[in-house]
Copies of this chain bind each other. A is one copy, B any other.
Amino acid sequence: MRYLPLTDTDRAAMLDVIGAPSIDALFADVPADLYLDKPIEGLPLHASEMAVERHMRALSKQNLAAADAPFFLGAGAYRHHVPASVDHLIQRGEFLTAYTPYQPEIAQGTLQMLFEFQSQVARLFGCAVANASMYDGSTACWEAITMAGRVTKRRKAILSCGLHPHYVSTAQTMARFEGHGIDYALPTLTAETDFAALADKVDGETGCVVVQYPDILGRIGDMTALADACHAAGALLVAVVTEPVALGALKSPGEMGADIVVGEGQALGVGLQFGGPYLGLFAVRDPRHVRQMPGRLCGETVDAEGKRGFVLTLSTREQHIRREKATSNICTNAGLCALAFSVHMTLLGEKGLRALAAENHRLACLAADRLAQVPGVTALNEAFFNEFTLVVPCDARQLVRDMAGKGVLGGVSLGKFYPDGQGRENSLVVAVTETVTAEDIECLAATLQECLA
């Protein structure tokens, strides 16, 4: 009970002040027949820190950590080196154990950080304004669709075939309940994106078109023409970025005309964490759209002495004020992940981000060339950033399991997402970041060859 400061002496003295005979007596409102008067049976009692740590360590050792294997997984979550100072700073108690900054006078640390974060995200995405973060990329994507619905008053969304399948599922699930229409088809294994085809589909019913950049197959394409087509039809273009490091090398969606840019920020500062918590990024190109945005926003203002300061603002959009008329039911952000992202971005700066992106792309080019030499393997992509698709002569689900059996985490099988027997399952998405070594690439090539033999 090391987390409980009260001693039995304290408890007795306090009960005396209250005038209650026991702590149990304070629960008199609970029906007696449903009140548990002792610990629930069958559950363990309290344990020492040492015992808990030992137990958790044993569980952790039943996993194969990415650092302990040649590692090539991406598909929406990317392994990058996170500088040690990032984790040090987010563990500062003043950041870690603070609440949402509802009392701005004593929360300027969190608030200024959020303002900086918003500014960094906006510049990265080529947008005017970003919010203070959301749960993750997939929910930010759905929020973008609903926002486009509010802005255009149209409830149809056209999703690119290259959108991450989990993002598609999330949107389909939510759309079913909230009454949106979703137009989506599974991807075909071509080297090019479907942006041109999407432009042809935009019509007067379309609220938005949603594209991913780079997409789930690692493909990249210019979305300028698509944006023009959307705007001509009164629709918005939503761009999804699941690998923000790419924007250290690639033109931003905002520059190409995307109206809403959302993304998954996990790649910078946050780490893999088996899928969560991650970091939803959300930005708009046109500042007039701000009042339709979901999520928290931090804004600049002044205090009673005229000093610059920061506050949460435009909260009339939010649930705690607007209740059932809010722009979203979200009442949190991913504050600590946003901090990690922001610290990492600050350490990188434009120079570092460009260098990081260049290094990723260089290594990915090396790997693509090397792996395409493996008999039976062909590389799908012409253009890509740090991730590309290999077409293999078998179901890649089994291939991935076989490679794992040999201690190699060799990529993500598209069959995991598209198990339909139409050929998509014979492909493997390989991500190559700066954490990959020459030995890792050789090892993957050899293991692929072995497993395909």
Contacts and interface: CB of A to CB of B under 8 A. Distances in A.
Interface residues of A, number: 15
A78 B84 CA distance: 29
A142 B435 CA distance: 50
Interface in A74-131: 81, 83-84, 88, 91-93
Q: Which of A81, A88, A434 has the most CB of B within 10 A?
A: A81
Interface string A420-440: 000000000000001100000
A83 B3 CA distance: 12
A47 to B, nearest CB: 12
Interface string A14-53: 0000000000000000000000000000000000111001
B50 A434 contact: yes
Contact of A435 (B2, B50, B81): B50
A434 B50 CA distance: 9
Nearest to A437: B54
A50 B48 CA distance: 35
B84 A49 contact: yes
Interface in A224-273: none
Nearest to A88: B91
Nearest to A2: B347
A83 to B, nearest CB: 6
A91 B96 CA distance: 14
Interface string A188-201: 00000000000000
A49 B81 contact: yes
A232 B88 CA distance: 56
A92 B92 CA distance: 7
Contact of A49 (B53, B83, B88): B83
Interface string A201-238: 00000000000000000000000000000000000000
A359 to B, nearest CB: 9
Interface of A: 2, 48-50, 53, 81, 83-84, 88, 91-93, 347, 434-435
Closest 8 CB pairs of A and B: A50-B81, A49-B83, A49-B81, A50-B435, A50-B434, A49-B84, A88-B91, A91-B91
Given A50-B435, A53-B84, 7 more contacts: A48-B81, A49-B81, A50-B81, A53-B81, A88-B91, A92-B92, A92-B93
